[in-house]
Amino acid sequence: MSKLIENLEKNGFEVIEVATKEEALEVSKTFVKEGMRVGLGGSTTVLQVGLLDFVINHKGITLFNQYETGISMQENTKRRREGMLSDLFICSSNAISENGELINADGSGNRVAAQIFGPKKVLILVGKNKIVKNIQEGFERIKTVAAAKNIERMNAKAIEMGKEPHYNQDNIGNKFTYINGDEKGRTTIILIDEELGY
């Protein structure tokens, strides 16, 4: 893990290593300041850590929550766009290579776009299960693990809502990114020594 952290820091990422999701939540909370505009990228990890509930219930911030039930697709898209210009964008990464690179795929693209440019600050929460050897393994992980589990999750949700399932490899991750550096201090990665997310 020390070599991974060294490589991430060399690439301009700030890294905070924690043992548990509870510790990750406490650290994450320190990044959410009164008066902030906060954007979200779809993330099971953020949900499992408890950070999603925390920001949804935080009265002192403006949260662009595209996942709020009952909103129209037009409102959903508007909130995704607003999140691109937020003070803080919260998400995860599909994979992180030992060379200190972020490897991701996205459906709509707001999460990967925000990791590249837009929000003033990006906070990425990542479980140890997402660490891979290199870029090739990262994209393989997306195809065989992350995309597959997200397709299953999204189609189950569609069935619950009485809709015909339509998520597949073609639309769940049709925008791919590989990031091997960022402006120093813009992106903070919280590495969690637990298996979390997809």
- Report the pLDDT value the prediction gives residue 78, as an integer from 0 to 100: 97
Residue 49, both tokens: 């850590």
Q: What percent of the chain has pLDDT over 70?
A: 86
Write out the CATH class of domain 2-192.
Answer: alpha beta
Return d(Cα 197, Cα 127) in angstroms, integer.
7
Return d(Cα 118, Cα 82) in angstroms, integer.
10
Q: What is the pLDDT of residues 135-179, one digit of tens each?
A: 999 999 988 887 666 555 554 454 555 666 555 555 556 788 999
pTM of this prediction exceeds 0.85: yes
- Report the pLDDT value the prediction gives residue 170, as an integer from 0 to 100: 54
| Domain coordinates in residue numbering, the chain | 2-192
Q: What is the pLDDT of residues 64-96, one digit of tens each?
A: 999 899 999 999 999 999 999 999 999 999 999
Return d(Cα 31, Cα 108) in angstroms, integer.
26
The number of residues in the chain equals 198
Hey, is 121 helix, strand or coil? strand
121 pLDDT band, cuts 50/70/90, is very high
Return d(Cα 30, Cα 24) in angstroms, integer.
10
Burial of 184 (0-12, 13-18, 19+ CB in 10 A): exposed
